[in-house]
Structure 1
């Protein structure tokens, strides 16, 4: 019998449960007792389960201290989703914590903003009660931007005991003070919606003057805001499955040493309107066009361009299409064909020599591309333009 205590209010909790359930269904034969929050997992409930036997616990939402102490007395294997904290006190074995690599989530957010180009300022908005995962995301965000020599990150510090109205007023004033364009990461989606509301209150245009990202990809929240919120999506289902796998190992009582803390790195970005095209996007296009122009005499590909930009191919093509109306591949082809046309106009070199000098490996393919672009063969184009300035 396994007790699973997960707060199911948010999307992340439901995805955690899906991961635990999937792993248990595919690999174990557990009878699961589900508790939708720590409050449900009361001392009385625990006592009732003990009568029939409790073999292990997966928990992400703390119960009352008396319940936690009773779990320690029983000595059953425990997997904590999140920081182990007080669960580790007095226990040397049969316990493990699994959690998202929150510091890496912060770095991931900073890398995404860097891929958009240059912002004049960067900000971080922590959760109101300064949870460990919020602090780690802040640390990763700041350290990554420091590595690329970006501006110092300005962290919003709300007044203690501030109500919702005062928090919004202070947040609006803080956002107004940031040099624009600004890029702000919030600790999680709910806090990011506060940022978007405060920006609207302050009359700050998004995403032209302010880019915002959150964490969790809670679709109900992300799609409800205006503009819709871009969010980093940790793989909470993978986290839940990892928790179940670690509990299975603890139950097997293997003698192999086990890590006390396991970090899950899986995540992706779900891009929406809060980080749409900005003046920062134009910087990406400028860098890409400069690289293509400098290297157009070589057989370069879009892969070479995105390596130079240090962003994903999908994001690079998205920015190109938004700002330039063409893909990277189309831009490379057109630029290289312009060099071909220049040599046809200015030299008497045979077409095969021109192809070789520009690293076109297949002359027939070059002829077909030129015809598609210029509406005439290379020979006809040379006849009409040779010697022209």
Structure 2
């Protein structure tokens, strides 16, 4: 029996509570319901591979937020004819989909590794997984633009299940030993990142000195359990949940579903020990990078870097540009703009305060540089990237 139409919507949350991703998404849904949604929530403890709950077939609620790894569950949810939003990493035909932006994930990941001077790269994925293949292809394309190759390894399925972990780990160890250090290894997600770190230990490969390893998901527990702790790209999980809830509300109000998946950019890279290294042969440039990273947002100038290194600006810029194809000033500004982006997205600080924290003397100059580098004013960027509400 359908509940009385008092304006309150009954929504089923079929999102896993067993993983960091699902719990982060649920935080965003909770924020939406507190601020915007007149919802009654129906949920239960779930895993990503669980079937639909039996009560759902008789349920006469108003909307569903669904996250699952099973095609049969996705198809069964479609047949219910209830407004629904899918939050999976696959692309769901005929159901509105909201997901993390894989290309933006790889942009963050690749930039993090390229900024450390790596010239050799590898990717470890899961064969047959659509999301893993997308990330692999985006990484290959990004590196090709830099004329850099990428070695590939994939865990292979056998009879519908992944091969036994010890056997797969042995294959991974043998493959890692074929790579020439120093090499940067991108894992398709954090669980695979831990497997890569374990395989590096078994292969006698020092991390991060010989191989830097980065994952995706920024599952803090897994990343901190790793030895050494795993660097990872962090999704904006709360925003994914908030925007999915807002989309579902619109669908329940009769709006047309979007034609394309809605993609949410990640928060960025959480740097840990597994990539805390510089793969730069030129010691002068390596020292310059360390100085710039520490002091870019303190207002450091090119002459300050040269003075600390006891070399001329001309020499510093020539050797820096040879490795990074940009000047020292451009590198300082890049880090300052990255800091501005972070503060605009994560805080409500005034432009004057953001300018000071990013190393700019005047907010007006910061705004000019920000627009030149990003194509948007700070205000436009903040409105585009922060969740509504």
- The TM-score with structure 1 as length reference comes to 0.68
The structure carrying a bigger helix percent of its residues is 1
Over residues 137-186 of structure 1, what are the superposed CA-to-partner deviations in whole Å (9 max), with x where a residue is unaligned? Answer: 11121111111222x10011345433211111111111111111000000
- Show structure 1 runs of 5+ residues with no match: 298-302, 317-389
Q: Distance in 2 between matches of 1:200 and 1:84?
A: 33
Equivalence for 1:191? 192
Q: Is the 8 A contact 2:97 2:262 kept in 1?
A: yes
Equivalence for 2:153? 156
Q: Is the 8 A contact 1:101 1:263 kept in 2?
A: yes
In structure 2, relative to structure 1, the CA distance for the partners of 1:142 and 1:306 (3 Å cut) is farther
Over residues 224-269 of structure 1, what are the superposed CA-to-partner deviations in whole Å (9 max), with x where a residue is unaligned? Answer: 11111111101111111111111011112136x7343101113211
Equivalence for 2:28? 19
Equivalence for 1:145? 143
Equivalence for 1:44? 54
Work out whether 1:293 is the aligned partner of 2:290: no
Q: Distance in 2 between matches of 1:292 and 1:16?
A: 51
In structure 2, relative to structure 1, the CA distance for the partners of 1:258 and 1:292 (3 Å cut) is farther
SS at match of 2:234: strand
Q: Distance in 1 between matches of 2:63 and 2:312?
A: 58
Work out whether 1:82 is the aligned partner of 2:88: yes
Work out whether 1:228 is the aligned partner of 2:229: yes
Equivalence for 2:266? 266
How do residues 165-180 of structure 1 correspond to structure 2 at under 5 angstroms? 165-180=166-181
Q: Distance in 2 between matches of 1:69 and 1:244?
A: 21
Q: Distance in 2 between matches of 1:146 and 1:80?
A: 33
Q: Distance in 1 between matches of 2:23 and 2:206?
A: 34
- Show structure 2 runs of 5+ residues with no match: 1-9, 293-304, 318-325, 340-389
SS at match of 2:208: coil
For residue 73 of structure 1, report the CA deviation from its aligned partner. Answer: 4.2
In structure 2, relative to structure 1, the CA distance for the partners of 1:21 and 1:82 (3 Å cut) is same
SS at match of 2:206: coil
Q: Distance in 2 between matches of 1:39 and 1:202?
A: 33
Q: Distance in 2 between matches of 1:263 and 1:211?
A: 28
Equivalence for 1:10? 19
For residue 10 of structure 1, report the CA deviation from its aligned partner. Answer: 1.6
SS at match of 2:97: strand
In structure 2, relative to structure 1, the CA distance for the partners of 1:32 and 1:160 (3 Å cut) is closer
Over residues 110-145 of structure 1, what are the superposed CA-to-partner deviations in whole Å (9 max), with x where a residue is unaligned? Answer: 1111101133x2000013x53221111111211111
Q: Distance in 2 between matches of 1:211 and 1:314?
A: 25
- The TM-score with structure 2 as length reference comes to 0.68
Q: Is the 8 A contact 1:106 1:137 kept in 2?
A: yes
Bigger radius of gyration among the two: 1
Q: How many residues align?
A: 297
Q: Distance in 2 between matches of 1:180 and 1:24?
A: 50
Q: Is the 8 A contact 1:107 1:143 kept in 2?
A: no
For residue 197 of structure 1, report the CA deviation from its aligned partner. Answer: 0.3
Over residues 328-386 of structure 1, what are the superposed CA-to-partner deviations in whole Å (9 max), with x where a residue is unaligned? Answer: xxxxxxxxxxxxxxxxxxxxxxxxxxxxxxxxxxxxxxxxxxxxxxxxxxxxxxxxxxx
In structure 2, relative to structure 1, the CA distance for the partners of 1:284 and 1:38 (3 Å cut) is closer
Over residues 95-122 of structure 1, what are the superposed CA-to-partner deviations in whole Å (9 max), with x where a residue is unaligned? Answer: 4100111122122211111101133x20
